[in-house]
Amino acid sequence: MTSATDPSTALTPFPDHTKLPESDGTFVKNFQEHPQSILLTDSIKPILQKRHPDGQYCIGQDTGIYWRITDPPEKGAEAPYWFYVGNVPPTLNG
């Protein structure tokens, strides 16, 4: 039996954003994705501004979200057409 402090069961640290690929070489195949994302964002923005008056939320589109360590790294990512994350700074440095 291994314990939580056993080094053989320790999690590998996840690389930071500077060490992960920013593209998988594919491109958006549906030219309506971008306008639809804008429409969705514009329609929900008043609600988000009430819910997050401090502006602490992020909306993104077609951005890789790495959720597991794989080789190659792109296999451990998803790129949703649109997403919202609450209670986070809207930009990397802010």
Q: What is the pLDDT of residues 10-41, one digit of tens each?
A: 566 778 778 787 776 766 667 788 889 999 99
Residue 57's H or E segment, with its range, is strand 57-60
Q: Would you list the domain boundaries of the chain?
A: 28-94
Mean pLDDT of 3-16: 62
In sequence order, the β-bridge partners of residue 77 are 66
- Position 19 scores a pLDDT of 79
Query: What's the Cα-to-Cα distance from 89 to each of 13, 29, 75, 77, 86, rounded to whole Å?
Result: 22, 30, 26, 21, 9
pLDDT score of 86 more than 60:
yes
Ramachandran angles phi, psi of 71, nearest 5°: -130, 110
Residue 81's pLDDT band (boundaries 50, 70, 90)?
confident
Q: How far apart, in whole angstroms, are the C-alpha atoms of residue 28 and residue 30?
A: 6
Q: What is the pLDDT of residues 52-67, one digit of tens each?
A: 999 999 998 888 888 8
pLDDT score at 80? 86
Instruction: Tell me the whole-structure pTM to 2 decimals.
Output: 0.65
Residue 58 CB burial class (10 angstroms; 0-12, 13-18, ≥19): middle
